[in-house]
């Protein structure tokens, strides 16, 4: 069976970013209800050498927007990485979702063997399309969204597994 690069990427990224937006909504509401300065959550991290929440969201959206752009031979748009509020992070997520929604299957399908080159830190990485999606994009997005979830859960935000996974299909 041949994999649809579009189905394996765009719907998955859309759902994951949508779930992240809802998680951040819960975090902001929690901060307001408990009279916690939202900056406390935005700058929280799991360990001193890890990125804070705001950077986790920035990286998740960067990797997500890079996916369809690179697979279709386009340069991903650059974001400023200057968000300091939950509202600004929501705008960033919404902007990324809008970008993802602008791609159709005809732009992504058939890119399994496309050459994708990107800079990650100080390294230049080159992939074929399918390994780029399955071994770089999806694990990175899941890692940073999971870390954002864990930071907020550790901070007392009432989150559960379904907040991360989102709605699941009805049982048969």
Q: Which domain holds residue 151?
A: 5-103+130-163
CATH of the domain at 81: 1.20.120.450
Task: Report the predicted TM-score, pTM, of the whole model to 2 decimal places.
Answer: 0.95
Confidence of residue 56 (pLDDT cuts 50, 70, 90): very high
* pLDDT at site 3: 78
Question: Which of the four pLDDT bands, split at 50, 70 and 90, describes residue 172?
Answer: low
Residue 147 lies in a domain: yes
| Backbone φ, ψ for residue 20 (5° rounding) | -60, -40
Q: Is residue 11 part of a domain?
A: yes
Number of domains in the chain: 1
pLDDT at 1 over 70: no
Residue of 82, 35, 60 lying closest to 138 (CA atoms): 60
């Amino acid at each position: 069976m041949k994999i649809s690069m579009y189905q394996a990427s765009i719907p998955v990224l859309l759902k994951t970013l949508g779930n992240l937006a809802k998680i951040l909504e819960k975090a902001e509401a929690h901060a307001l209800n408990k009279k916690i300065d939202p900056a406390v959550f935005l700058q929280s991290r799991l360990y001193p050498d890890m990125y804070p929440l705001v950077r986790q969201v920035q990286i998740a959206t960067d990797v997500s927007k890079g996916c369809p752009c690179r697979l279709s031979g386009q340069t991903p748009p650059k974001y400023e990485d200057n968000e300091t509020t939950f509202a600004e992070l929501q705008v960033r997520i919404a902007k990324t979702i809008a970008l993802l929604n602008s791609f159709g299957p005809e732009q992504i399908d058939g890119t399994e063997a496309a050459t994708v080159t990107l800079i990650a830190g100080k390294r230049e990485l080159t992939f074929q399309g399918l390994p780029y999606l399955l071994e770089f994009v999806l694990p990175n997005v899941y890692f940073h969204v999971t870390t954002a979830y864990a930071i907020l859960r550790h901070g007392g935000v009432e989150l559960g597994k379904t907040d991360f996974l989102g709605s699941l299909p009805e049982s048969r």
